[in-house]
Chain A
Amino acid sequence: MDITIDIRDKSFKKERGVVHVLDHVYFHIDDGEFITVIGPSGCGKSTLLKIVAGLDTDYDGSVYIGRQKVQKPSVEQGFVFQEHRLFPWLTVEENIAADLSLNNAEIRKKVDELIDIVRLGGFEKAYPKELSGGMSQRVAIARALLRKPSVLLLDEPFGALDAFTRSHLQEVLLQVWAETKTTMILVTHDLDESVYLGNRVAVMDTHPGRIRHLIPIDLPFPRRKTHPSFQKLRQKVLREFETISEPPTTL
């Protein structure tokens, strides 16, 4: 589904006055497009995703997914949170299935497939306390994928992962994207990741948060991080980024 974001103002009222977090964030995302969002910490990336997900409706403006105005969360807007947010009392497979029954043969099969894809075989019956941060995040990703959302929102999903797992999951995500043509918005603080995955990179500014640049990445998939044209685009995103006050955490 295509997404039309038109947020005129999003503020948080605090004891010491009002904080403007998002200001005139307007852009249109095509159906099946992969958008990566990059910006300094605290610029409102998570807030933006929560608004698109329908988790936060207290703002001035509107978000449309297809022709439907987003008014509440739904399984159509899959979400992978910055922290994994698993249910500590459910095992890995139960967390992925959640409200769906594992006794249902079809669900069972899909869950097993997803466990395979995120490489968690052998941990089906483990509780979240027995998992590393990266493993937990992989469970959270599988949980979102099971529901085949038409829009998938990912808030720094690979932030806690080692380079190896991260690049594996990037491939997984690209594969899912190629197969399902799900519209993706992925927030990241990794410049390489933003260029590697996105059709367009949205560079956000801070105080107040707004989209400073939308940089198209016209590279065919599969991309190679070492390729000169990749490096050239990476340099371009980096230059745009450096015009913003704070540099990103990893360069």
Chain B
Amino acid sequence: MPSDIRTSRQNVRNTSNHKKVKKILSGMIVPIIIAVIWQCIGTLELVTQIVLPTPWDIVLAAKNLLASGLLLTHLKVSFIRAAVGFIIGGGLGLFFGTLVGLSTRSEHLLDPSLQMIRTVPHLAVTPLFILWFGLGDTSKVLLIALGAFFPLYVNTFLGIRRVDAKLFDVARILEFSKWKRMKLLILPAALPNILLGVRLSLGAAWLSLVVAELMGSTEGVGYMIMDARQFSNTDIVFVGIIIFALVGKLTDSLVRLMEHHFLKWQDTYRGGA
């Protein structure tokens, strides 16, 4: 009987691997078709290079940038900015979201002000940040942090408030300590929302990074794009855009992976079937 279970588990795993490959392949169909059509337009010279370089040109440009090491240097700078900004903003969002979620007193004290700041499109404060902190890394990191703060704040707050009151009764009956209540009840229950917050925060951090770097900088992927634009190197502009898309997608997948791992207890509809 146990071996039966094991083989059937293995089968399940195999078919799920199979499904995964299928899923990835079906996700690639549309980009490939677009790339082929695009390449045809370029080779037939329907549009000039400056407006629309062919995918092949872009690949070549990327190769050159990689070979010269320029791409990696810019990417590293951008990545560090985004990471530091995300950690500061997201960390604060998580902290304040938890604080406000756990106590109505801090909610009354803090939430109205925070919600007011939230309604200001944070890109509108960019000029202010530049005035205060100059064009250096500080203003960029702070802008990214500001962008990353709210999604995590709002979703952590929401997640904590949605913990089932009936399970709180169980925690009272079992006499959980404050710490155990946090660890066994509140955090796991809020985790789906927190992870959603992480995803949205990462997206916001990335968006803020682009804006910050386009506003003016001397290195980073955003700078690379602006620099290339001045010299009408459209292929490099495309390389930059694609890099932004790839890294964005990659971090998003990472969070999804985390969701998959940490939320495997969840019993919700996953689409299809």
Contacts and interface: CB of A to CB of B under 8 A. Distances in A.
Nearest to B164: A85
Contacts, number: 57
Interface stretch (A59-67, A71-79, A189-197): A71-79
Contact of B166 (A72, A78, A85): A85
Interface string A219-236: 000000000000000000
Contact of A98 (B172, B184, B266): B184
Nearest to B179: A99
28 contacts: A53-B173, A55-B169, A55-B173, A72-B172, A73-B169, A74-B173, A74-B175, A75-B173, A75-B174, A75-B175, A77-B173, A78-B173, A81-B166, A85-B169, A87-B167, A87-B188, A88-B267, A89-B188, A89-B189, A89-B191, A90-B184, A90-B265, A98-B174, A99-B176, A99-B180, A129-B265, A143-B174, A147-B174
A127 B174 contact: no
- Summarize B's interface: helix, strand, loop or mixed: helix
Interface residues of A, number: 23
Interface in B177-226: 177, 180, 184-185, 188-189, 191
A251 B166 CA distance: 31
Across the A-B interface, give the 6 residue pairs with the lowest CB-CB distance, nearest first.
A129-B267, A89-B188, A99-B180, A89-B265, A73-B172, A127-B265
B170 to A, nearest CB: 5
Interface in B127-178: 166-167, 169-170, 172-177
Contacts of A55: 169, 172-173
Interface of B: 166-167, 169-170, 172-177, 180, 184-185, 188-189, 191, 264-267
A89 B191 CA distance: 10
Interface of A: 53, 55, 72-75, 77-79, 81, 83, 85, 87-90, 98-99, 127-129, 143, 147
A87 B170 CA distance: 9
A247 B264 CA distance: 44
B173 A79 contact: yes
Given A87-B184, A90-B184, A99-B180, A73 B173 contact: yes
Contacts of B167: 85, 87
Nearest to B166: A85
A53 B172 CA distance: 10
Contacts of A90: 184, 188, 265
A56 to B, nearest CB: 10
B175 A73 contact: yes
B100 to A, nearest CB: 23
Nearest to A143: B174
**Residue from B169, B173, B184, B191 having most chain A Cβ neighbours under 10 A:** B173
Contacts of A147: 174
Contacts of B266: 88, 129
